[in-house]
Every structure is written in structure tokens, then in C-alpha cells.
Structure 1
Amino acid sequence: MNTQKVVFLNKKLGTRMAGLLRIPTDFNLSRNYPAIVVTGPMLSIKEQAQSVYAERLTEAGYVTLVFDGTTTGESEGQPRGLELPDMKEDDIESAVDYLESLPYVDKDRIGGLGICGSGSYMSVAGVKDARLKAITAIVPAISDISKSPMMGFFKPEEEVIAAKKAYEEGKGDLQYLNFMPRNFDEGAAYYYTSRGNRRGYSSLVVSWSQLELQLELVKYNVPEIMKDMTKPYLVVTAENAWSKPASEEVFNAVPEGDKTMVVIPEAGHFDMYDLDPYVAEAFTSILPFFKRTLGTVE
């Protein structure tokens, strides 16, 4: 395959975004290709889990795009390390904008695949953006944030509000939360080893991001949004994933129709980022799903 560094614009935020565009080996400019936007876990960068999935999809004939989210990795945006659902939606929409601009991409055959936190973000994008024709969510982890292990990373709300106010008034430095401390054994086994340790990755998120994340049930209620999902939808979770309850809640909120949930036996949440046989087993469902919903190269 051909992997190209690309830059595209988040029009709503005015930020330039860094991406990796992958094109199949037998690329023919005269043909029309289906394309898939692939997004990764919270705070992740384009070289991590999302590229594992993008490479396999491109090997199967799809044009794929991964990118660093606004304020993350090589993309623009300040302050660095914000994790805001609305911003993530804008990023996904901007990625679709970019794919639509490519003359060899079939605008009617663009899909999305999201992993972990962006499994939920991508699911919501599938409801809101008519241009996305089919969605796959891998261990989607955001439903009711109050029940998530991430709550253990949060600081007292009044402390975070005070820190945000002080920073905005120029009276204090940025404060961060560590979303992947080394004592979180399962996550550390990915992020702090050769599996997922990549230059440019940081586990630090601006502390007031939690104010938005804690409002999920009010402002960004994923199950409530998913009640309006009408597109083909595939959820792949893992038998031993800490995120499995959230994945099931998001999936069950989708009306009956073209929806499928697959549970990978013996796998844990982070196993689904990059480890075989678990990822390979997931692709026995992912590829038939996208072949049926987006087709193949024409």
C-alpha cells in the first residue's frame, strides 16, 4: 500500500490537521474507491491503534484516513490535550470533507470505524453526518461516564473549575489529568511498551475536559443519540473488556434493524487495539460488513 502524510482543515475550528492517507497497492486513478475514516482511543495519535485497523482495511482495498485530533499529536489547536466530544465530532466531519475532496473516492461510499472512546464518537457521527454510510465501533467505551473507570482519573469538580478560571485569566498554569497512569496495568501494557508507545503520544489531558465528559448523560448522551441510528452498525466488543457494559448499552439503544454485535472470546479491552488473534478475529466480521455496506473498488 501507499501511505501518504496529508494535511487538511477543520473548518469549524480553523485548525490544520495531520493525517495518514493509505491507498491500496494496485491503485488505479480511473477507478472509484470506497473509503473509511478510522479513529482511535482518547488522546491517541494516528500511528497507534487506528493505524493497525487502517492498514488491514487498505490491504482489503479501501482508501483509509487516520489523523491526529485537534490539540493532539502533529495537529494544531490550543491548549494541547483537550478531550471534548463536540471537537471530536468536528474532527470526524473534517476528515470526511477531506475524503470527499479526493477525485478517486466515491462520495456515496464513505464509512467510519472508531476504537474505544472514538468508538462512541464515531457512532454519534454516524447518526449526525449523512455522508457516513456505515459505522463500526470497536470496544466503544463512552456511555454513562459516571460508571466508567475513567472516573478514577478525575479531580474534584470545584478544583477543576478554579483551575480553568485561573488559566483563562492568566493567573495560573494548565492543569492536567493522567488518563493512562502506569498503575493502570492493562492500559500501561499497551501505552508504555513497544505495542503502543509512539513519539508524540501523551496521556495527559487538560483537566477541565472532565467537565464536558461528566456531562455525557445531559449534553452528550450517547445511548439517547443512538436511538436515531438508521445506518448499518457493527459493534465489536471483547469478552473480558472493562468497556463491555458501555458497548452493550450503546448497541442496545439502536433500534432494531441492520445492527450486529460481535463478542471476541477471551479478549480484553486493550487486546482489541493491536493483538492477534483478537484483531484478526474481529476482521472476520469487519470486512464482510464493509463489503456488504460500502462494496469494493469499482
Structure 2
Amino acid sequence: MKKNTLKATLLAAMMSLSIGTSLAADYKQNPFTLAYDGAITENVKGKVNIHPVSYKLNGIDISANVYTPANYDPAKKYPAIVVAHPNGGVKEQVAGLYAQKLAEQGYITITADAAYQGASGGTPRSVDKPANRIEDIHGMADFITQYPGVDVARLGLLGICGGGGYSLAAAETDKRFKSIATLSMFNSGLVRRNGLQNSQLDTLQQRLQQASDARAQEAAGGKILYSGDANLTDEQIAKLPFELYRQGYEYYWKTHAHPNSTFKYTTSSLLDLIRFDATDHIDLINKPLLMIAGSKADTLYMTKDAFAKATGTKKKELFIIDGATHIETYWVPKYVDSAMSKLTPFYSQNL
């Protein structure tokens, strides 16, 4: 009887924890539609606050969130950090989580939806061109360096997943960033070109032809074609060949879903993506660089490759989170804490 009672109690506790976690990551339960555990639900004086903002970037309306630290005083000077979101992600997901975590450490942070994506403007929707994503990062820097209280001499950059690859590219030439960090860096051009872990080398020319045809169709006023869009069943998800995609569907479609987040992108974007590589001029980065990735991540090879090629900086560190997959660095508390344990001293020493 005691064993059964104990089991029932433990089961109830686990269910309660599961439900609590689910609700905490449910955008519908958050007034700012934030989809991560521990998200701000209201602005309280003396605490970390969130400020939805918008600004123009090359004529496009950009939707962003600025996080200010506890006891923020616009008359004082604070270091600031730009946070670039993953491919398919939006500012309310993992980018918001790390932006909030960093604000808790005393930084003013900004994370914005990429142009043509999320709540930002731009048509056609879901254009995913590297030049745009890099410009988004420059644009966040433009905005936040004019924000009250920001010390322009202490600006950092954090890029997550695809945002990590684009952050490397942006930091190659934008010397406003005094330190650069990436988390689970994803080299979008490399993967769109060769497939994850070189799994699509034999279809490259075929995919280029499809992208070319899609662009021609757009130019003629025809239907916009999309790639990467899928509504898979649990059974189909389980059969996907890489953990990144299996856990990615779980994260983006279920546990941390947001209506503005989508995997799809215009097929014509592949013309630009396939000729892009985040490491092409990485030797131009001459500022402190921290690259973080999970030891079990399908994408770890991309971080290691970029790190080895980053020969222009005299101060760089590769930190591997033991046991973590790519997606688990987005939300699993112990892995997020592990990443923060490196990001906190890194920015403290280099901003």
C-alpha cells in the first residue's frame, strides 16, 4: 500500500511539473507571447523589464523586444548585447530566453524578428536570404546603440543556431561588436548546400534548378514556392534521420511553439543560401570569440570548423556542453545554465 501511495504521489508530482512547464512555455499564457520557461509576465519596478519596440530597417518594419536590467536607470550607462534568433525561430523563443538571462546579469539586450519573418514586415513572407539576416544584426546594433542608457563602447553579440552563423558574418566587418559568442552555431549556407552532415551532396544541382525555376516563377508574377514547410505526424517525426530535426519539430511545433515561427522559406532563397558560407571571411574577426555547442549536437562539426578557421582573433574559446544536443541548449535548464556559466564571465571580461 505504501509503495502504491508513494508511486501515485510521485506520478502526480511529475504530472504537475510537466503541466507547469508546458504552461510556462505556452505563448498563449504570456501577455508578451513569450514561449520559454521563466518568461517575464509583467513589468515590475526594480526587476528585469521587457519593452516591445519597432523600427525601420531599409523601409521594413522590424519588431523587437528590448530587455532592461533590474533597477534600470536611463541616466546611467550599461553594456548591451544583440541576440540573433535561430532559423525559423522568433524573438519570443530561445533568443528571448537568453536575452532575459543576460538582462538579469545587468545588460540591456535586444532580440528582433528577422525581416520578412515573425512579426516583422516584408513580402513575400519567409524570405530567408543571408544578406537580409546579416543586415538584421547590423540593424539591431543601430537601434540599441541609440537606446537610453546604452554604452556604445560596450556592445556584444550572441547568435543562436542560424543566427550564430549570421552573427559571425556580421562581426567580420561590424567592429561595433566588442565580443562575439555563438550557441549551437548553424552554418546555413553549408547545410543548404550539402545537407546536414553532407547528406544531400548528390541532389545539389537538382535543388539549384528548383530554386532557379522558383525565382523565374516569382519574377513572372506566379505563385511563391516554399521549402522546408511540413506538418508531420509524431510517427513521421520519429523517422527523421537527425536528432536536430526530431527535437526541432518537438520544440517548434509543440513545447515552445509560437504562431510566428515556421521552418518554411521561399525556395528562391536557396539561390542566395547555397552560395553563402558563414566562415568565408571569419579571419576578419579580431575580437574575443566564444563558441558554445553540445557534445551530442548533430551540428557540432560546424562550430568546430568555424572555430578552427577563426584565426584573426587572439582570444577565443570553444566550450562543449557535455551531453547536450543542439535543441537541448535552447531550453533544458541544466544546459542553459551551463551556457550562461560561460557567457556571463565572457561578456563581463570583454565588455
Aligned partner (choices 93, 102, 120) of residue 75 of structure 1: 120
Aligned partner (choices 199, 218, 229) of residue 167 of structure 1: 218
CA positional deviation for 1:30? 2.2
CA positional deviation for 1:189? 1.7
Alignment of 1:144 with 2:172, yes or no, is no
Greater relative contact order (CA < 8 Å, ≥ 6 in sequence):
1
The answer as to whether partners of 1:81 and 1:206 remain within 8 angstroms in 2 is: yes
The answer as to whether partners of 1:180 and 1:187 remain within 8 angstroms in 2 is: no
Residues 64-213 of structure 1: matches in 2 within 5 Å? 64-142=109-187, 144-145=190-191, 146-149=193-196, 156-170=207-221, 172-178=222-228, 182=232, 183=237, 184-194=245-255, 196-213=256-273
* Alpha-carbon distance between aligned partners in 1 of 2:332 and 2:230, rounded to the nearest angstrom: 19
Letter in 1 for 2:309: A
Alignment of 1:254 with 2:321, yes or no, is no
The answer as to whether partners of 1:36 and 1:62 remain within 8 angstroms in 2 is: yes
Alignment of 1:267 with 2:324, yes or no, is yes
How many correspondences in the alignment?
286
* Alpha-carbon distance between aligned partners in 2 of 1:43 and 1:225, rounded to the nearest angstrom: 25
Letter in 1 for 2:212: I
Question: Which structure has greater helix proportion?
Answer: 2
* Alpha-carbon distance between aligned partners in 2 of 1:91 and 1:14, rounded to the nearest angstrom: 12
CA positional deviation for 1:200? 1.5
The answer as to whether partners of 2:160 and 2:184 remain within 8 angstroms in 1 is: yes
Residues 37-78 of structure 1: per-residue CA shift (max 9 Å, x gap): 101111211101101111100011100001110001111111
Letter in 1 for 2:55: F
TM-score (ref. length: structure 2): 0.78
Alignment root-mean-square deviation, CA: 1.8
The answer as to whether partners of 2:179 and 2:288 remain within 8 angstroms in 1 is: yes
Name the stretch that deviates more: 156-165 or 15-24. 156-165
Where structure 2 has 5 or more consecutive residues not aligned to the other structure, the ranges are: 1-47, 238-244
TM-score (ref. length: structure 1): 0.91
Aligned partner (choices 34, 39, 49) of residue 2 of structure 1: 49
Residues 227-257 of structure 1: per-residue CA shift (max 9 Å, x gap): 1210000000110111111111111111161
Alignment of 1:285 with 2:342, yes or no, is yes
The answer as to whether partners of 1:114 and 1:137 remain within 8 angstroms in 2 is: yes
* Alpha-carbon distance between aligned partners in 2 of 1:213 and 1:59, rounded to the nearest angstrom: 35
Name the stretch that deviates more: 174-183 or 22-31. 174-183
Equivalent position of 1:237 in the other structure: 293
Residues 52-67 of structure 1: matches in 2 within 5 Å? 52-67=97-112
The answer as to whether partners of 2:294 and 2:329 remain within 8 angstroms in 1 is: yes
The answer as to whether partners of 2:211 and 2:269 remain within 8 angstroms in 1 is: no
* Alpha-carbon distance between aligned partners in 1 of 2:288 and 2:164, rounded to the nearest angstrom: 15
Q: Which has the larger radius of gyration?
A: 2
Letter in 1 for 2:211: V
Residues 256-288 of structure 1: per-residue CA shift (max 9 Å, x gap): 610000000000010011112111011111000
Aligned partner (choices 281, 284, 288) of residue 225 of structure 1: 281
Letter in 2 for 1:68: D
The answer as to whether partners of 1:157 and 1:211 remain within 8 angstroms in 2 is: yes
Identity of paired residues, percent?
26
The answer as to whether partners of 2:184 and 2:292 remain within 8 angstroms in 1 is: yes
CA positional deviation for 1:181? 6.2
Letter in 1 for 2:249: A
